[in-house]
Amino acid sequence: MTASATTPQVRHVSLAAPFQDQKPGTSGLRRPTPVFQQPHYLESFLEAVLQTLPGVQGGTLVVGGDGRYGNRRAIDVILRMACAHRVGRVITTTNGILSTPAASHLIRTSPGCVGGIILSASHNPGGPEEDFGVKVNGANGGPAPEQLSNAIHQATLTLQGYAVVETAAIPLDRPGHHRLGTTVVEVVDGVEDFVVLMQKLFDFDQLREFLGSGFPITFDALHAVTGPYARRIFEDLLGLPAGTVRHGAPLEDFGGGHPDPNLTYAKPLADALLQGDEFSFGAACDGDGDRNMILGRRCFVNPSDSLAVITAHATQVKGYGQGLAGVARSMPTSAAVDAVAETLAIPCYETPTGWKFFGTLLDAGKITLCGEESFGTGSDHVREKDGLWAVLFWLSILATERCSVATLMERHWATYGRHYYSRHDYEEVEQTAAAELYGTLQRQLPRLAGQPLAGDRIRQADEFSYTDPVDGSTSSRQGLRILLESGSRMIFRLSGTGTRGATLRLYLERYEPNNGALNLDPQTALAPLIRGADQLAGIRQHTGMSTPTVIT
Ligand code: G1P
Ligand code: ZN
């Protein structure tokens, strides 16, 4: 153990004025890196966290990040502020690399842990001119619930200053124990612990045999946090050839890419699977490792369908053999999983967008699996969505079913029918234009029921609000819903994670029964709804954009 020579002196730094813009969004405080580099900006938010998170003094905190530009500096600041706040122990990782699901697991398994601070802007690009973020997780390992985020925000609004100590940076290049005043800093390997958890949930012998039997796969880490985890799992433990993991070295700017596993930003991988025949399976994860994209040969798996398939086959998978307590999906996610839940006769919950809403359901044992259309899937093994877990789940199903991804999807739709689904994102829309579009549609809602739309008729039009069935808390204004008589629907939401302008998300869904047309291109199947949405909300007119920036 190394100890700082003397107990470091606590310095109280005054703020000229409190920051007024530190309200966390859908997933933590995300801002362009230059905003975080303003003097005292990061420290202000951290001070609010350390003052607000219950049990910080004398407690244990987990700290790490996705390795993006600013990660190392932020960890250094956190350690020095944690010492000033007399945190008992900070657990951090070699080189500060820690995926979001691995952080969740570490929080859950470390005795006395009161929560964690995860440095990531998730799937947003990283670098000096790109984005940085700070996420706070609670003692259950999950994202801070709204009440805690609001309390942190409130604290920033009146903050007079912050406490910090000055000391040399703690080396993070290898595991070790250090002491900063009364705070113990433990540097651990951020990968191993998570890999052991995966080995408990999935049958690695079965996977090794299956993958070695002529089922070639490729995984794209997009130069983000999952690289070291994926290499360890796929190349070391499952014996796949070196190079199975592409872009496996975490880089501060993700190699200049956008670490979002979708068809637009993971295009080389998508092209390899959708246009080539080299691989039977491909997958990618995002910046901090909680998102996943699943691809088969010539087959893209929509994330809403992915949740449904996982639910339908869960009992074939080692860690889930005992069955499922229930499932949950975010409101804009398609109802594909609802159909499976109905057949399995298990409860299915509909929550607002954002992983934090699954936390109470998971903690109360009401659900085992949950997911979002935004490439997020997870289970009660942690309290975050988990990209590599989803990939291993899919491979475990395929190892049992011994068929292609495309065949698995066809069988699924032939059983449950198909929920054609797509999300259209309009990014970097001018704030006022987006607000105008949203506000205009919101005002129309009371008059819409009964109106014709998209060759159908509007059954119900409302703004989604949610009452948590466990703690009774309510969350309102969670997206505009246009529900049609046929069961089709369109949802309008404004993103809570974007950092530049506004992002309008339009979610489209149409159900086709199992004896109907199951093999249409989703954009074709949804064409009347796409036109209807523009007609209703004037998307082109308000945004000045004729096509979405990203279609998934
Ligand atoms: C987006 C997704 C949402 C997800 C969040 C964090 O939030 O839509 O499902 O939980 O990122 O990964 P949004 O930008 O829509 O607020
Ligand atoms: Zn993420």
> Which residue has a Cα nearest atom 8 of ligand 1?
374
Residues 176, 502: Cα–Cα separation, whole Å: 44
Q: What is the pTM of this model?
A: 0.93
Q: Does residue 54 lie in a domain region?
A: yes
Ligand nearest to the CA of 291: 2
Q: Does residue 5 lie in a domain region?
A: no
Å from CA of 193 to ligand 1 middle: 27
Q: Residue 57's CB: how many other CB atoms inside 10 A? A: 12
Partner residues linked to 347 by β-bridges:
none
Alpha helices by DSSP H, 430-521: 431-444
Q: What is the DSSP track for 42-85?
A: HHHHHHHHHHHSTT-BT-EEEEEE---TTHHHHHHHHHHHHHHT
Q: Residues 334, 288: one domain?
A: yes
Q: Does residue 2 lie in a domain region?
A: no
Q: Residue 436's CB: how many other CB atoms inside 10 A? A: 14
Please choose from 23, 27, 293, 355 the residue to mutate so as to test ligand 1's pocket, defined by most ligand atoms within 8 A of CB. 27
Domain boundary (387, 416, 445) is at: 416
- Residue 506: phi and psi, rounded to 5, are -115, 120
Partner residues linked to 460 by β-bridges:
483
Catalytic residue status for 122: yes
Domain boundary (144, 159, 190) is at: 190
Residues 344, 6: Cα–Cα separation, whole Å: 62
Q: Residues 36, 185: one domain?
A: yes
Atom in ligand 1 nearest the alpha carbon of residue 353: 9
Q: Any idea what the Cα angle at residue 329 is, between residues 327 and 332, rounded to 5°?
A: 160
- Print the domain residue range for 445: 418-551
Q: Buried b / exposed e across 509-533, counting CB within 10 Å, b at 16+? A: bbbbeeeeebeeebeebbebbbebb
Partner residues linked to 371 by β-bridges:
329, 377
Q: Is 227 helix (H, G, I), strand (E, B) or coil?
A: helix
> Which residue has a Cα nearest atom 15 of ligand 1?
495
Q: Does residue 355 lie in a domain region?
A: yes
Atom in ligand 1 nearest the alpha carbon of residue 503: 14
Q: Any idea what the Cα angle at residue 386 is, between residues 209 and 189, rounded to 5°?
A: 80
**Is the CB of 496 within 6 Å of ligand 1?**
yes
Q: Under a CB-based contact definition with an 8 Å cutoff, are residues 125 and 47 in contact?
A: no
Q: How many Å from the N-terminal Cα to the C-terminal Cα in the chain?
A: 50
Å from CA of 217 to ligand 1 middle: 28
| Active-site residue, from 110, 122, 149, 379 | 122
SS3 of 414-442: the string is HHHCEEEEEEEEEEEECHHHHHHHHHHHH
Q: Does residue 444 lie in a domain region?
A: yes
* pLDDT by 10s per residue, the chain, length 552: 555 545 789 999 999 999 999 999 877 899 999 999 999 999 999 999 999 999 999 999 999 999 999 999 999 999 999 999 999 999 999 999 999 999 999 999 999 999 999 999 999 999 999 999 999 999 999 999 888 999 999 999 999 999 999 998 999 999 999 999 999 999 999 999 999 999 999 999 999 999 999 999 999 999 999 999 999 999 999 999 999 999 999 999 999 999 999 998 999 999 999 999 999 999 999 999 999 999 999 999 999 999 999 999 999 999 999 999 999 999 999 999 999 999 999 999 999 999 989 999 999 999 999 999 999 999 999 999 999 999 999 999 999 999 999 999 999 999 999 999 999 999 999 999 999 999 999 999 999 999 999 999 999 999 999 999 999 999 999 999 999 999 899 999 999 877 788 999 999 999 999 999 999 999 999 999 999 999 999 999 999 999 999 899
Atom in ligand 1 nearest the alpha carbon of residue 27: 6
Domain count, the chain: 3
Q: Residues 412, 448: one domain?
A: no
